[in-house]
Amino acid sequence: MLTFPSDFAFILGCRSTGKEFALKIIDKAKCCGKEHLIENEVSILRRVKHPNIIMLVEEMETATELFLVMELVKGGDLFDAITSSTKYTERDGSAMVYNLANALRYLHGLSIVHRDIKPENLLVCEYPDGTKSLKLGDFGLATVVEGPLYTVCGTPTYVAPEIIAETGYGLKVDVWAAGVITYILLCGFPPFRSENNLQEDLFDQILAGKLEFPAPYWDNITDSAKELISQMLQVNVEARCTAGEILSHPWVSDDASQENNMQAEVTGKLKQHFNNALPKQNSTTTGVSVIMNTALDKEGQIFCSKHCQDSSKQARGQTSPVPPSAQEAPPPPESPKPPCPPATSGCDPAGTWRRHRD
């Protein structure tokens, strides 16, 4: 039973259980010649079962359409969780990072790299007992790592330096993106940004990796948080921490974070830097956020490399804020492997955010 439609999907209600699900409908005609993109995404979704990852519940198909029944997460995205709250503390941010790192440790244990870790792909799951947790979605760029990857893809603000440099990359590009998110969670703006809104300038800053914690925005943030962020945003991949090391860091695992309310300050900066006051594109008519992108939608996120931009810049004598699409496509799908057993859940007694324990 379809309870109500949106521009991109339907909210599906099950008559026998009363549960609701998100339904993605993919037009096969639009996949002609690109079937491997959808096959790759679905093969990965079949494998992953984790409390911090949005789950594929069922798949069905007809001659013309593919239907993906997904877990429905109603709490909005990561930024919504901050801007709509009355209180937001460093400890809340710590719990959010725990949820994200927990999902990444699981994926990386399966040799799966997500490649598009960003706030819009982290949705808030709200439980009947009032607790909540983050769930990672949108696996359109995800792939199995069997050797160095070279496709230049992702979202520029969160892209790792080794992707830009085209030196080959692996699982730790997700840790870099998580580091950018952690930085934003505590001050409301990204660590690397271009004053002129030019992608080339942004990439230069990312490659340089000069990390700063400017006053007054970071004056009341603990040194432990800054230490973890510095470990996550190491340009040297070997020096960059793993998802497991994030989980064991005192700022995440212990009580090294603070309870000072910084909701107003962070929300103000989020709206200034991310236009968070605008309506969400992927919201249903009742305000429920649903990630409806597929691998086909991700083709625009395979952007021109730094080397390509430099060559084009010399030819044109100018820079461009709009990146053209690159020609390289994501790698073909791998054969499905048995999923790891799902992790168990636990409630964080120190706050409203759950910390799922593996």
| Residues acting as catalytic residues | 116
Structure tokens at 310: 């430099």
Asked if residues 233 and 191 have their Cβ atoms less than 8 Å apart, the reply is yes
The set of residues, in sequence order, having a beta carbon less than 8 Å from that of 178 and lying 6+ positions away, is 97, 100, 101, 104, 117, 232, 243, 246
| Among candidate residues 341, 79, 110, 148, the one with its CA nearest the CA of residue 243 | 110
| Among candidate residues 109, 86, 90, the one with its CA nearest the CA of residue 98 | 90
| Among candidate residues 174, 164, 58, the one with its CA nearest the CA of residue 107 | 174
The three-state secondary structure class of 13 is strand
The Cα 109–Cα 244 span in angstroms is 10
- 212 backbone dihedrals φ, ψ, rounded to 5°: -130, 155
* Helix, strand, coil content of the chain in percent (nearest 5): 35, 15, 50
The Cα 100–Cα 287 span in angstroms is 23
Structure tokens at 144: 């199995």
- 308 backbone dihedrals φ, ψ, rounded to 5°: -65, -40
| Among candidate residues 108, 61, 86, 138, the one with its CA nearest the CA of residue 301 | 138
| Among candidate residues 120, 121, 124, 105, the one with its CA nearest the CA of residue 50 | 105
Asked if residues 143 and 330 have their Cβ atoms less than 8 Å apart, the reply is yes
The Cα 234–Cα 211 span in angstroms is 9
Beta bridge partners of 112: 144
